[in-house]
Amino acid sequence: MPVVQRSKIRQRLLIMLVTGIGGMAAAAVSFATAVYDAANPVPAVTAAKGEAIDTGRWRVTINDATMASVPPTGTKPFEPKRFLMVDIELDNRSVTTSNAFMNLIAIKDERVIASPKPVYYLARDKWIASAINPNMPEKLIAVWEWPADRPEPEKVSLSIGKQIYKPRDNLYGAPNWFDDGEAAVVELAVTQDTGSSEQ
């Protein structure tokens, strides 16, 4: 066969056309869905008080929130301060001891955040908590120092972060846990502690 048949050329042209149009259509659809998702964010899942939230690495239960003037250690600060205290139950579901929960819970607020990071206390020892062991659920108290120039909240929204496990990450192929947005939002009524437990 010295020359390529005319029908074969026509067939090849058709294939090129179909793949070209198909590829462009796929790119357009993917771009459009990305734009649509960015414009319409999925509303956060709300969880009730006392309900266990599965965040992947941790199982978190948010209980009561109180405003008090004494931190959980029982030592009254030298200058009068107000503390927002939230009772939390934590269960480490991963294979090792971890303190990653300290970056998990944040106050969800349109204005400036009260205090960037809370201090965590162990409920049974009334002392600052360290990392949480796997298979040993603990009760903790998260304490935010409330700024004096802001009115005390009637209710507070807490955003609970999520972490996912990758057996091979994208850089080294090493196994690790990675932040993955928000697992749930919990809205709590804040009760006032009159300070009967002062020392």
Q: Check if the beta carbon of residue 45 is closer than 8 Å to that of residue 184.
A: yes
Query: Which residues make beta-bridge pairs with 104?
Result: none
Q: Which is nearer to other proteins, 15 or 131 (CB)?
A: 131
Least distance in Å: CB of 74 to other proteins? 14
User: CA 66, CA 33: separation in Å to the nearest integer?
Assistant: 43
User: CA 121, CA 140: separation in Å to the nearest integer?
Assistant: 6
Q: Which is nearer to other proteins, 90 or 106 (CB)?
A: 90
Least distance in Å: CB of 158 to other proteins? 24
Least distance in Å: CB of 67 to other proteins? 27
User: CA 93, CA 177: separation in Å to the nearest integer?
Assistant: 12
Binding site for other proteins (CB under 8 A): 95-97, 124-125, 127, 130-131, 133-138, 167-168, 172-175
Query: What DSSP string runs through 21-59?
Result: HHHHHHHHHHHHHHHHHHHSPPPPPEE-TT-EEE-SSEE
Q: Check if the beta carbon of residue 71 is closer than 8 Å to that of residue 142.
A: no
Q: Which is nearer to other proteins, 29 or 174 (CB)?
A: 174
Q: Which is nearer to other proteins, 176 or 191 (CB)?
A: 176
Q: Which is nearer to other proteins, 134 or 153 (CB)?
A: 134
DSSP state of 23: H
Least distance in Å: CB of 37 to other proteins? 30
Least distance in Å: CB of 135 to other proteins? 5
